[in-house]
């Protein structure tokens, strides 16, 4: 079966408090990056998978996000799927 590479971003929903992002923002400003006004920290996953075709790969990655990779209550996700080189 052909191989595909999915790049997946998972972030807290816009309204959700992000203490990790706040801490990173504070750290950046303390290092002199005074122009930083907001930081959000999320996950970035790279998943390599075999699937019949690109449409099947996309459908499977969407299921992975809903089932395991993102928490639907707190998080949003987006992804791209490309043929693996």
Binding site for its own copies (CB under 8 A): 1, 3, 9-11, 21, 24-25, 27-28, 31, 33, 35-51, 60, 63-64, 67-69
Nearest to its own copies of 39, 73 (CB atom): 39
Pair of tokens at residue 45: 């996953």
Minimum Å gap between C-beta 73 and its own copies is: 18
Nearest to its own copies of 14, 73 (CB atom): 14
| CA distance linking residue 62 with residue 81, whole number of Å | 10
Minimum Å gap between C-beta 32 and its own copies is: 9
Strand partners, 66: none
- Contact status, residue 9 vs residue 77, Cβ threshold 8 Å: yes
Nearest to its own copies of 46, 73 (CB atom): 46
| CA distance linking residue 83 with residue 54, whole number of Å | 7
């Amino acid at each position: 079966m052909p191989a595909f590479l999915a790049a997946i971003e998972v972030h807290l929903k816009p309204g959700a408090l992000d203490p990790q992002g706040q801490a990173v923002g504070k750290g950046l400003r303390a290092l002199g990056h005074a122009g930083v006004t907001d930081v959000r920290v999320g996950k970035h996953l790279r998943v390599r998978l075999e699937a019949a075709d690109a449409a099947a790969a996309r459908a499977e990655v969407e299921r992975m996000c809903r089932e395991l990779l993102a928490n639907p209550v707190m998080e949003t996700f987006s992804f791209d799927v490309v043929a693996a080189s």
